[in-house]
Structure 1
Amino acid sequence: MSSASIISARARTDADNRLIEAEEPLASFHMRAGGEIPGAIVTPALLDLVCKARQTGKRLSRAIRAQDSVEQISAWAEVVPGKAGTIITISTWEAEDIPITAADEERRGHLALVRHLSGLTARLDVEQKLLTVDWTAADLDALGEEMMLGVGQPWTNFASPAGYSHEQPLHWRLLDGALVSVPDSKREWAAQLVPNGRAEPGSEGFELYLVPDRPLEERITKQSRKPERSAGIGRDIAPVLRQPVSRIIANAETIRTQLAGPLADEYSNYASDIASAGEHLLALIDDLTTLEMVEDEEFSPAPDNIDLADVARRAVGILGVRAKERGIQLDAPKDDESVPAVGEFRRTLQVLLNLIGNAIRYSPEGGQIWVRVEEENGRARAVVADQGEGLDDDQQSRVFAKFERLGRKGDGGSGLGLYISRRLARAMKGDLTVESAKGQGARFILEIPADPDADRA
């Protein structure tokens, strides 16, 4: 929501171009951006104006724009050079909350899933050195003990990223998603790095999560055990693609945030577009990797006893902010509702996130989406209903096809979400279907086996 206002502030710098006095709101913005008073000016556009005013000895003024993790501001800055520094006058200060985008919500949803699935978590300092370690996976006991004894060392000393020969630690964006070597585990593990810090990602350290490619074997029933399959194109190519794409994103973010020095707004915007395109490519790589997995004849999710109502509520919670941004109301199952089912938790959540995310994307602003759960004849169902344009008979026959986007352009989708979701549902001995009519919205129905052993009392 906008919090635009017009305010004036005065500030003063010393001979070393350090900010030594500042009035509100400049002072708060400077501190949130990682600065100190007294301390270096951390807003590149303002620093550039101060330096030029001192070099020329002339009064200079210009419009400046900047943002931190909370606000984006625009203002008119005037700098008057003096013998011992400069006097800064800020006028027409306009501050606006940074909007939460769909991409931000997708990242939040992804992070929630990562935290749920991780077998080991650790807190790292700004140099990616271990501060604390905790783990729940039995096959990570040896690694966890080693990390505990190695607090203060880089985490990569213990879980080495596969295929990275550069000096460690690398930039966190290059390590995020990398496969790591865990000698005492038969599973493959991927590192997920979450940067902390309002001024700059990673300026307050990181959270490290190790996420497995599958549950422990003892959780898989004899019927679902499959022999080891050879590495396919997704396993081979995805890590190779992630490295250069992550490097592109890291460099683009450095340019966008002007950490390498001031530059014109249009170039900062170009860099933002490059970073967004890179994030889209990473999402596409993930989709293609998942596509290969679900199309493998030997793929079989690990059956588990879950509460479908609870999974649905979690999916609604993850996507709640994205819906709110478009004024869409999500109607989730009630807290006291419970529908015991048999399915893999993370795959069921993945399907529901896709269905609800699609409903938000294609529903009218100010609309409503209903998520209902029920159990009938030994089947557990979750229904996602929206008020969108709906689908005619021809569109319904194509909506689950691979790479099918029904003529949509520019929404950033790969056309794989519903195809993968149906494959996952059927792999869990269920199905995913749609009921719709043009102009009357759509109802997507996820069906999986109900838990026959659940207490129905």
Structure 2
Amino acid sequence: MTGAALSSTPVTGELSRDGHLLRADDRLTKLHAGAGGTRGGIIACPALFGLVQIVSRLQMRLARALIVSDGTDNFELWVEAEPAGENVRIAILSWRSKTARNPDPSAKLPWASVMDETMTLNFDQALRLVRATGPVGDVIHQEDFGCGARHVVTRLLGDTGDIYLRDMEKFTAIGRSSTGLNTNNDTLLWGEPETSSSGEYTGYALYISSAPTGASVGYKRSQLVDPAFVFGKNLTPILHRPLSRIIANADTIGNELLGPVRYNYATYARDISNAARHLTALVEDLGDLEAVERPGFTTAPDRIELGDMARRVAGLLALKAADHSINVKVPDEAMQVNATAEFRRVLQILLNLVTNAIRYAPDGTEVSLDIRAEPDWSIISVSDQGSGVCAADRERIFVKFERLGRSGDGGSGLGLYISRRLARAMGGDLTVGDAEGGGAIFTLRLPR
């Protein structure tokens, strides 16, 4: 199965609230079958199953970047899911292949009798051993290649390996610790997840080093764990699950889905849900911050249409706008402006801009998304009818953690900073100015 950068026609399907695949396009059917699923059975891709469970519980439309496997290849999908009565409808808008590297069975391995320097074991996204470098000696066998981490680590470390496997399977960094791999020497083991330039997990690197007792062992900077990396890439996915459960349970109580409760209890539950959503947004911001500040961060170019992007954002934020009686105006469907930029990142920027406009514009006003084409640029702008941004603050507003003196409004001061970094990583820019008739206008320029 091959993957396209962006599906011209979405791949669609419908699942029951408990994850059974009720209907699917051919491509989704093949993915399900390749991953071991049966006709009408529970979807065989855990990431899709998890998204369906969340949408079913929250009864909200959600969009996520997911990584799935058909048993042979890995794929990165951008999926939109929405409630459909008792079921959940999904649309896969982006389908990019992330094929695992296959080891060369004829490769010659560097054999050694003693480990006196660092050995590196590289596992792919499915935690299969694909490469071993350094003095592997009698530690790694040819038949280990292609095997899962559980097989390799258990063979090397026995029952002790379970401690490390738990971290590897969660793509969590392993701090340096002693192992029983070599009784004659002090053996140290540590590891860290590997990521792509866009911050997605691509595999795991496990390091093993042995040296005489008391001798110092040198480590490369890349083998040390950066605290920002630990939070951005390790705690972010770990925190998402409990926060999602808090939101789901609080919404169940607050909306009285399981029966009536006292009014003040329902109010408390809604407060808990809102606080958990706020914390979720902060966690996502910190994860994005780590990604965009990583040296060499790049984005994947897709062919996108800005009018379509505007309408998607308006749909995703329709309920939030309705809560404030704000009308979100979008371009006419007949007007099209194409651009070259990563679909997921442009959607992220626009969601941030429109959310801010709804948050700070007066109730009952209008937020407009407009598109136009220039010789070198494709442009989409978001304007509101609020108080605007004074000239002195138009660069300051893009500074990390800057909130222009606002407090208690739920913002982190990271959204605009991250959005501008993403825009520039895609070869464009994000600026702010005065909207016609008052208010602020944020302009996103992207390469044509």
The normalised TM-score by structure 1 is 0.56
Letter in 1 for 2:297: F
Q: Secondary structure at the match of 1:388?
A: coil
Tell me, yes or no, if structure 1 residue 216 matches structure 2 residue 88.
no
Contact 2:80 / 2:90 at 8 angstroms: preserved in 1? yes
Unaligned runs of 5+ in 1: 1-114, 198-203, 219-224, 451-457
Unaligned runs of 5+ in 2: 1-5, 100-195, 205-228
Please list the CA deviations of residues 346-367 of structure 1 after superposition, one character each: whole Å capped at 9, or x if unmatched: 3223322322332232222343
Name the CA distance, whole Å, in 1 between partners of 2:325 and 2:56.
35
Inter-CA distance 206–343: structure 2 relative to 1 (3 Å threshold): closer
Inter-CA distance 335–278: structure 2 relative to 1 (3 Å threshold): same
Contact 1:347 / 1:424 at 8 angstroms: preserved in 2? yes
Letter in 1 for 2:447: P
Q: Secondary structure at the match of 1:284?
A: helix
Name the CA distance, whole Å, in 1 between partners of 2:283 and 2:8.
20
Q: For residue 244 of structure 2, what is the aligned residue in structure 1?
A: 246
More displaced stretch, 417-426 vs 187-196: 187-196
Contact 1:328 / 1:360 at 8 angstroms: preserved in 2? yes
Q: What displacement does 1:261 show?
A: 5.8
Tell me, yes or no, if structure 1 residue 303 matches structure 2 residue 191.
no
Q: For residue 277 of structure 1, what is the aligned residue in structure 2?
A: 275
Name the CA distance, whole Å, in 2 between partners of 1:318 and 1:254.
21
Name the CA distance, whole Å, in 2 between partners of 1:428 and 1:262.
50
Name the CA distance, whole Å, in 1 between partners of 2:401 and 2:65.
26
Name the CA distance, whole Å, in 2 between partners of 1:370 and 1:172.
31
Letter in 1 for 2:409: D
Contact 1:160 / 1:180 at 8 angstroms: preserved in 2? no
Name the CA distance, whole Å, in 2 between partners of 1:149 and 1:238.
29
Please list the CA deviations of residues 348-400 of structure 1 after superposition, one character each: whole Å capped at 9, or x if unmatched: 23322322332232222343344333333412222323221122233222211
Contact 2:68 / 2:75 at 8 angstroms: preserved in 1? no
Letter in 2 for 1:364: P
Q: Secondary structure at the match of 1:426?
A: helix
Name the CA distance, whole Å, in 2 between partners of 1:281 and 1:187.
29
Q: What displacement does 1:431 show?
A: 0.4
Tell me, yes or no, if structure 1 residue 205 matches structure 2 residue 87.
yes
Aligned length: 311
Q: Secondary structure at the match of 2:352?
A: helix
Inter-CA distance 217–303: structure 2 relative to 1 (3 Å threshold): farther
Name the CA distance, whole Å, in 2 between partners of 1:237 and 1:343.
29
Name the CA distance, whole Å, in 2 between partners of 1:125 and 1:294.
37
Tell me, yes or no, if structure 1 residue 127 matches structure 2 residue 18.
yes
Q: What displacement does 1:427 show?
A: 1.0
Letter in 1 for 2:14: R
Tell me, yes or no, if structure 1 residue 143 matches structure 2 residue 31.
yes
Q: For residue 88 of structure 1, what is the aligned residue in structure 2?
A: none
Q: For residue 433 of structure 2, what is the aligned residue in structure 1?
A: 435
Inter-CA distance 120–148: structure 2 relative to 1 (3 Å threshold): farther
Inter-CA distance 194–425: structure 2 relative to 1 (3 Å threshold): same
Name the CA distance, whole Å, in 2 between partners of 1:215 and 1:374.
28
Q: Secondary structure at the match of 1:131?
A: strand
Q: What displacement does 1:417 show?
A: 1.8
More displaced stretch, 266-275 vs 142-151: 142-151
Name the CA distance, whole Å, in 2 between partners of 1:130 and 1:307.
30
Q: For residue 286 of structure 2, what is the aligned residue in structure 1?
A: 288
Letter in 2 for 1:236: N
Name the CA distance, whole Å, in 1 between partners of 2:332 and 2:54.
46
Q: For residue 109 of structure 2, what is the aligned residue in structure 1?
A: none
Contact 1:173 / 1:246 at 8 angstroms: preserved in 2? no
Name the CA distance, whole Å, in 2 between partners of 1:421 and 1:118.
27
Q: What displacement does 1:235 show?
A: 3.5
Q: What displacement does 1:318 show?
A: 4.4
Q: For residue 390 of structure 1, what is the aligned residue in structure 2?
A: 388
Q: Secondary structure at the match of 1:435?
A: strand
CA RMSD of aligned residues (A): 4.2
Name the CA distance, whole Å, in 2 between partners of 1:145 and 1:305.
29
Name the CA distance, whole Å, in 1 between partners of 2:9 and 2:345.
15
Q: What displacement does 1:331 show?
A: 4.1
Name the CA distance, whole Å, in 2 between partners of 1:400 and 1:325.
27
Q: What displacement does 1:429 show?
A: 0.3
Which one of the candidate residues 344, 356, 359 is aligned to 1:346? 344
Tell me, yes or no, if structure 1 residue 159 matches structure 2 residue 45.
yes
Q: What displacement does 1:401 show?
A: 1.6
Inter-CA distance 173–326: structure 2 relative to 1 (3 Å threshold): closer
Q: What displacement does 1:414 show?
A: 2.5
